[in-house]
């Protein structure tokens, strides 16, 4: 719930700044109308960057890999007892 409050607050601040820029004409009106599009594009670029960084720093779990290998060996043994051939051809 805390994240939604932060997001709504941020959106309200951005909307207030945008309306203020529209009313004061500090920035030319043709550029001010494009600010929401710039914000959406910037948010998309930020999201892609965070996904890329997350993929580059993806943790490896050697202990979990060993446990998975043990589970595979157990499953092959169980299937072999049931008469199913799981050997790699």
**Tens-digit pLDDT profile for residues 14-65:** 888 888 877 887 777 777 778 778 878 988 898 899 899 888 887 778 888 8
Q: Which two tokens stand for residue 37?
A: 């599009």
- Listed residue (9, 8, 16) closest to 35, CA to CA: 16
Q: Which two tokens stand for residue 79?
A: 């299937």
Residue 7 included in any domain: yes
Residue 38 included in any domain: yes
- Listed residue (53, 7, 9, 14) closest to 37, CA to CA: 14
Count: domains in the chain: 1
pTM of the entire structure? 0.47
Residue 79 included in any domain: no
Residue 80 included in any domain: no
């Amino acid at each position: 719930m805390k994240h939604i409050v932060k997001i709504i607050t941020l959106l309200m601040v951005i909307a207030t700044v945008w309306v203020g820029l529209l009313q004061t004409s500090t920035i030319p009106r043709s550029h001010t109308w494009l600010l929401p599009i710039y914000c959406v594009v910037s948010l998309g670029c930020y999201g892609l960057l965070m996904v890329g960084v997350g993929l580059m720093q993806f943790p490896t779990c050697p202990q979990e890999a060993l446990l998975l290998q043990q589970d595979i060996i157990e499953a092959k043994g169980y299937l072999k007892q049931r008469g199913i051939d799981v050997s790699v051809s």
